[in-house]
Structure 1
Amino acid sequence: MIYKFRVILDADDDIFRDIAIEKETTLEDLHNAIVNAFGFDGSEMASFYTCDDEWNQEDEIPLFDTGDVPGEMRIMTDFVLEDILYEEQTKIIYVYDFFNMWTFLVELGAIEEKEEGQSYPALLFSHGQLPSEAPEKEFESENFDADFNDGDDFDMFDGDDSFEDFGFDENWN
């Protein structure tokens, strides 16, 4: 069986790619298909994030194990597409290049039979030009100012450049 995904850049403009890939492949294979479809060089870190139906980010699935204990973290090669995405769970978030935060909404649109003579993964459709820079993200917390400007958490930063309260010498190097 073939999974057909629509991969949408999280931006104001409509920029997306439709990709067909075998359901038995891994998230790393989907990562590579997305990188190729959007013309990235593939040299940056990336992660998928599980999410709910409202695109609220949940668990991270990184390209490489970045945990403190080697082998403890499950990575993209550990997840077969059909085990994480299926008819009832069709959405996943993909982030490429953590410095620029290229963010994509990936949705499973169809599950179909394999076409004879077709090789996979396949770029089925391309719409819109990728901008030269990743779209700016706005922080969505309604209580950002209340959370961080209540005066309790940042009293130690009073502008006198004193490091006495931190317990170390400011000329440590």
Structure 2
Amino acid sequence: MIYRFRVILDNDTEEDVFRDLEIRESDSLEDLHNIITQSFGFDGTEMASFYISDEQWNQGEEISLFDLSDDGSARLMNETKLNDVVHEAQPKLIYIYDFLSMWTFYVELAEIVEEAESTDYPNLMYVHGQIPDTAPERSFEAEGGDDMFNEFEDDLDVNDYDNLDFDENWN
């Protein structure tokens, strides 16, 4: 069977940016990673991960391109078949490419079809919109809308070294 995916760039631009792709259900997540990077014009050399997602696009289990865990327990793209993580009941993934730039994409299974004899897979079916030169800015907010990096409201100026209570002989 062939999985048809719509891969949408998470951005706040006026124009939507997405690609429609076809890939065999038995291909790996690394194969999906490769067609996504190629279809959006990336060189594919940066770190990337897929995250299993629920209906509200909440980020779940990570499936990485490389194992960077201390104990070698990470789930890897090249060892994970598409039909093991994506199916009609679980049609959504989040894909992040280049963890410095944080290119974020929503990957959704649109339909499952029979394989066409005259088509090579994976297949780029449709292109809409141009990817911007830089990744869209991401805002990180905690639940309730508060900025997650301003958890402590202590009015300390961390750049005012003279007035910080710091014991330079602490060790």
Q: TM-score range by the shorter chain?
A: 0.7 to 0.9
Map of 1:103 onto structure 2: 104
Map of 1:94 onto structure 2: 95
CA drift of 1:58 comes to 1.3
Cα distance in structure 2, aligned partners of 1:6 and 1:84: 16
Give the counterpart letter for 1:10 in structure 2. D
Cα distance in structure 2, aligned partners of 1:145 and 1:108: 32
Per-residue CA deviation, residues 31-72 of structure 1 (Å, 9 max, x unaligned), is 001011111001100000111100011111110000012x32
The TM-score with structure 1 as length reference comes to 0.86
Higher deviation after alignment, 113-122 or 135-144: 135-144
Map of 1:144 onto structure 2: 147
The TM-score with structure 2 as length reference comes to 0.87
- Distance of aligned partners of 1:167 and 1:46 in 2 relative to their CA distance in 1, 3 Å threshold: farther
Cα distance in structure 2, aligned partners of 1:103 and 1:167: 43
Per-residue CA deviation, residues 70-119 of structure 1 (Å, 9 max, x unaligned), is x3211111211011000010000000001111000000000000001211
Map of 1:171 onto structure 2: none
Map of 1:119 onto structure 2: 120
Cα RMSD, aligned residues only:
2.3
Map of 1:55 onto structure 2: 57
Matched residues, percent identical? 48
- Distance of aligned partners of 1:140 and 1:39 in 2 relative to their CA distance in 1, 3 Å threshold: same
Secondary structure (helix, strand or coil) at the match of 1:18 reads: strand
Cα distance in structure 2, aligned partners of 1:166 and 1:91: 53
Q: Moved runs in structure 1, 4+ residues, more than 6 A?
A: none
Per-residue CA deviation, residues 140-171 of structure 1 (Å, 9 max, x unaligned), is 321336961243xx97x584366538955xxx
Secondary structure (helix, strand or coil) at the match of 2:83 reads: helix
Which runs of 5 or more structure 1 residues have no equivalent in the other structure? 169-173
Map of 1:68 onto structure 2: 70
Cα distance in structure 2, aligned partners of 1:61 and 1:166: 45
Cα distance in structure 2, aligned partners of 1:118 and 1:28: 20
Which runs of 5 or more structure 2 residues have no equivalent in the other structure? none
Cα distance in structure 2, aligned partners of 1:66 and 1:166: 36
Map residues 19-58 of structure 1 onto 2, 5 A cutoff.
19-58=21-60
Map residues 151-166 of structure 1 onto 2, 5 A cutoff.
151=154, 159-160=160-161, 164=167
Give the counterpart letter for 1:55 in structure 2. W
Cα distance in structure 1, aligned partners of 2:7 and 2:45: 19
Cα distance in structure 2, aligned partners of 1:133 and 1:50: 25
Count of residue pairs brought into register by the alignment: 165
Cα distance in structure 2, aligned partners of 1:73 and 1:98: 17
